[in-house]
Structure 1
Amino acid sequence: MVQQVASFAAGEWIAPGSGARPIYSAISGKVIAEAGGGALDFAQMLDFGKSTGGPALRAMGFHERAAMLKALALYLQERREALYDISYDTGATLGDHKFDIDGGIGTLFVFSSKGRREMPDGQIYLDGGLERFGRAGSFMGQHVAVPLQGIAVHINAFNFPLWGMLEKLAPTLLAGVPAIVKPATATSYVTELAVRMILESGILPDGALQFIAGGTGDLLDRLGGQDVVSFTGSAETGNSLRARPNLLENAVRFVAEQDSLNASILGPDVAPGSPAFDIFIKEAHREMTVKAGQKCTAIRRIFAPEAHLPAVIEALSARLAATPVGDPRDKATRMGALVSAGQKADVLAKAAIIGEEAERVFGDPDDFALAGNVSRDAFLPPMLFHCADPDAASKVHATEAFGPVSTVMPYRDLDHAIALANRGGGSLVASIVTESGEVARHAVLNAGPSHGRLYFNNPASAPEATGHGAPMPHMIHGGPGRAGGGEELGGVRGVLHYMQRVAVQGSPDLLTAIGKRWVPGAAEVTGPAHPFTRHYDDLAIGETLHTASREITLDDIEHFARFTGDTFYAHMDEAAAAANPFFPGRVAHGYLLLSFAAGLFVQPDPGPVLANTGLDNLRFMKPVVPGEHLSVRLTVKEKTRRTDSYGEVRWHVTLYNQDDEVVAEYELLTMNAYR
């Protein structure tokens, strides 16, 4: 049967129409599905997303949305075998499926964790610290971020039908913005199955996710300043979309991840036969063969010192020769097909352009072994080219064959290698295999401006290294120039692409109410009992305890020094301490002050405070000398739910001397039980 890939618009599945396009199996060459041509009301889709999905998502806090992403990841994880099975017709092997499907699910998990650990348990994100505009602190500023009230349109490429969708969807939903997903038609049947799973789970609110199988019609011409377009694909298509008058006139955010002539450099300190050399060859081989080279992060240009170039060609060719190409359903296969015969034709055309400046040293597209009962229409062998004069060449630095094609080139020294890598005009990633810190630092300074990610590997990092071609959700995925100039992923950075940064100015009381984080100078609340006896639920932001005072004696200082072994001269030698411009003479240890502060504010009985988990932002402002007195102000600064049984309380702790001068300040973290 030919699968009918439907769209999901305004809460309904809509079958393909009369203008549907056929989709071919990369293995057999036969038509397996049809997509597109359905009558979609794009105005209705936008309204449904903005009026139904948007408010439902924004009503949730970051932690609720993070929990939603985790539930979604677990739901898909339980059903991934079905996604594996349907993906074989894309030409991908089981290992390729795992890269795509498991990688996408893993991205949901990462953003869920980031949301819970790095974002507040609320609806407003505080971006950076407070800004004081006067001495008294009665008028202050705070950058915040709030969800856009529009919709995100995600236009994805064919090579990662699941990961490509989920890498955009995770930060979008965490931000509180609904999405319309439009995958490439060639592999849309895989994405459609995943979307059906997501919708059937009931985890997302209505309107949070819609799906287009086919063209976008006039959708982009209907977007406004609250909307976002996130695009992955060719530079030609990306530039065409970016230049649409409506997007320019309305300043619609446009995030692009485009063509990329990624490079890999064998460091000048690495010799053939060494473990680092073997890592370099392994990385190059993997990036040429995983997904049959159809990765935006694949290595297209390989640079090696002139003296080592023959060894690189020999070692890489030997590894490529040992890579079985054939039916991706066969466990022995290590490289499957390109996504379609059309993609194969495009790769061959681009390889011919590269061949005008380089010699093919491995892989004959007209004569290669192919295992299994398959059509040859979409299969190619890995092809390695050698460009002997990369300085005179131009096409190898400007032509991306989006398949198992890479070109080896020599370099004279590190600066030459970096200059050649930068000639790609901006890439998503460049990798350097080196054990030299100086090589790495020089590369960051000089290659950094031209590449979105610099990946260094050597025997020390190899056991945990994630791979040249594996963007991690924790870090940005994007690149300058030809690569599109955008950023995806990047943890919370990626979430902020779907939010508006706002500069908020006002009194400490108003800023406290806005951010649900106590600001110094805001009103203090007196609780009915010692705050350490009160459960997480009962503590109010701003609830404050003022302690009694304690005198700091010379005996205290000397006892602390003997007990801890901290006999630094500022605490033990009056003349030496007085000669120091920071001290008037012998002073109390900073950590003695912290210990005494705890003794002043701690309630010792068992209660809701389960653990002290650390302190942040410790500063010592003024030395304390023997005979001075210490008192403490303890204020509930912020509360964050962590588990089903306890939450984190962040306390603002200020230490004063007898003249009410601040001598130290920090933030204390405790885990408090719920009522």
Structure 2
Amino acid sequence: TAIRRAIVPANLMDAVSTAVSTRLQKITIGDPAQEGVRMGPLVGRDQVADTWDQLNRLKQHTQVVYGGTQDFALHSGSREGGAFFPATLLRCDNPLTATLPHEVEAFGPVSILMPYNNIDEAIAITKLGRGSLVGSLVSDDPLEAQQIVLGTAAYHGRLLVLNQACAKESTGHGSPLPMLVHGGPGRAGGGEELGGIRAVKHYMQRTALQGSPTMLTAVTKEFHPGSEQITTQVHPFKKYFEDLQIGETLITHRRTVTEADIVNFGCLSGDHFYAHFDEIAAKDSLFGERVAHGYFVISAAAGMFVEPSPGPVLANYGLENLRFVEPVCIGDTIQVRLSCKQKTYKDQRPDDKKPTGVVEWDVEVRNQHDTPVALYSILTLVERRLP
């Protein structure tokens, strides 16, 4: 199937018609197993007949630029027994009033050139198709690309923005890729497939759950804030992967933030932002006074919940979903809640010295008013007892 509608600047219609026709003249039709053949047959004789029918309908509102007749050169194969169809280029000079070029799809090597005079007109012409699997925008103007994508995205399942920077690596118009959604709205069928991990979810049932945080934690095996917390005499970082329970929690000691903490952290990190160092300027800031660095807060929090001696926790794996909710000022006192949120078994590779799993911890830093100041998750690599 060819690109159904090619929307080009009105002043370039003749040049594009000539250029495309010249390229089409070089396409040899025949048995694709033969040397030199560039285009093979359609799926069968029924499709050939249907494509001719659709082409004849399209001719009512278009003019033939190239091809479009049954008298076409065939490099190899049988004209009577095969399912060959000529590459055909049409043009529709009044795309805003003609209807058939937008409604009829030949499902064969048939493409229609349509002129536009400005961006709004191009968008309007695109929308007349009432839904497409994919559209390609060829432009080197970022603002033009933004305007067209925002104006036409709702009518496409996928859009390719093509320019010099990506032309050589482009997979081409309409190529299905596993990480991209494939499918389109309206006349394109309203379906959807692929899209990376989303593709798996098409085959899964989705059920909404309601309940208390404790019950949801038990059902989902993921800690939900507000659920009952499990505390033991053993620091969570001293426990192997199998021994950790979802909801197992450490409440740390308290720490009062001093001016020296802010100055030392700023000098160590090189972050001398005025809200941390300039008392006069800080009075006019969002906070009304000097505040601690956000990264000092999470660094101090780590110092409060980490167990320093060797144990099953092997490495810090990452930090996610960090939010600084309230400022921490000089003289504020912070405390940390660390809860085992989720456990993920990790397959042992041949070069792994120890079997491990990934543990996600829910972290909440609060001040002396019991108000959250920082919320985030940390990931740790934790040793398993058994392979």
Deviations 1:305-338 (A, max 9, x none): 1111112112212222222222122353221111
What's the offset of the Cα at 1:494? 4.0
2:182 paired with 1:472: no
Classify 1:609/1:374 alpha carbon distance in 2 versus 1 (closer, same or farther; 3 Å). Answer: farther
Secondary structure of the residue that 1:448 maps to in structure 2?
A: helix
Structure 1: 5+ residue runs without aligned partners?
Answer: 1-292
Deviations 1:37-81 (A, max 9, x none): xxxxxxxxxxxxxxxxxxxxxxxxxxxxxxxxxxxxxxxxxxxxx
Classify 1:626/1:419 alpha carbon distance in 2 versus 1 (closer, same or farther; 3 Å). Answer: closer
Aligned match for 1:379, one of 84, 87, 92: 84
Secondary structure of the residue that 1:361 maps to in structure 2?
A: strand
Classify 1:596/1:326 alpha carbon distance in 2 versus 1 (closer, same or farther; 3 Å). Answer: same
Where in structure 2 are the equivalents of 1:596-635 lying within 5 Å? 596-635=300-339
What's the offset of the Cα at 1:417? 1.7
Distance 1:651 1:496 in 2: 26
Larger RCO, structures 1/2 (Cα 8 Å, 6+ apart): 1
| Larger-gyration structure (1/2) | 2
TM-score (norm. length: structure 2): 0.90
Q: Is the 8 A contact 1:637 1:649 kept in 2?
A: yes
2:384 paired with 1:674: yes
The structure 1 segments of at least 4 consecutive aligned residues displaced by more than 6 Å after TM superposition are none
Aligned match for 2:64, one of 350, 356, 360: 360
* Partner of residue 457, structure 1: 162
TM-score (norm. length: structure 1): 0.53
Structure with greater helix percent = 1
Q: Is the 8 A contact 2:135 2:174 kept in 1?
A: no
Aligned partner letter, 1:571: H
Aligned match for 1:577, one of 282, 295, 304: 282
Q: Is the 8 A contact 1:365 1:380 kept in 2?
A: no
Aligned match for 2:187, one of 457, 467, 482: 482
Aligned partner letter, 1:652: D
* Partner of residue 652, structure 1: 362
* Partner of residue 505, structure 1: 210
What is the count of residue pairs matched by the alignment? Answer: 378
Secondary structure of the residue that 2:31 maps to in structure 1?
A: coil
Distance 1:408 1:384 in 2: 8
Classify 1:604/1:369 alpha carbon distance in 2 versus 1 (closer, same or farther; 3 Å). Answer: farther
* Partner of residue 531, structure 1: 236
Aligned partner letter, 1:615: L
Structure 2: 5+ residue runs without aligned partners?
Answer: 349-354
Q: Is the 8 A contact 1:425 1:482 kept in 2?
A: yes
Q: Is the 8 A contact 1:550 1:630 kept in 2?
A: yes
Tell me which moved more, 465-474 or 422-431.
Answer: 465-474
Classify 1:672/1:409 alpha carbon distance in 2 versus 1 (closer, same or farther; 3 Å). Answer: same
Where in structure 2 are the equivalents of 1:21-60 lying within 5 Å? none
Secondary structure of the residue that 2:297 maps to in structure 1?
A: helix
Q: Is the 8 A contact 1:474 1:490 kept in 2?
A: yes
Where in structure 2 are the equivalents of 1:98-497 lying within 5 Å? 293=1, 298-374=2-78, 376=80, 377-497=82-202
Secondary structure of the residue that 2:134 maps to in structure 1?
A: strand
Classify 1:651/1:331 alpha carbon distance in 2 versus 1 (closer, same or farther; 3 Å). Answer: farther
* Partner of residue 373, structure 2: 663
Secondary structure of the residue that 1:558 maps to in structure 2?
A: helix
Q: Is the 8 A contact 1:324 1:371 kept in 2?
A: yes
What's the offset of the Cα at 1:500? 4.3
Give identity over the alignment, percent: 48
Q: Is the 8 A contact 1:430 1:451 kept in 2?
A: yes
Distance 2:97 2:364 in 1: 66
Deviations 1:514-540 (A, max 9, x none): 221101111112246322232323221
Q: Is the 8 A contact 2:70 2:86 kept in 1?
A: no
After superposition, the CA RMSD in angstroms is 2.2
What's the offset of the Cα at 1:374? 4.7
Aligned partner letter, 2:357: G
Distance 1:398 1:614 in 2: 52
Classify 1:327/1:606 alpha carbon distance in 2 versus 1 (closer, same or farther; 3 Å). Answer: farther
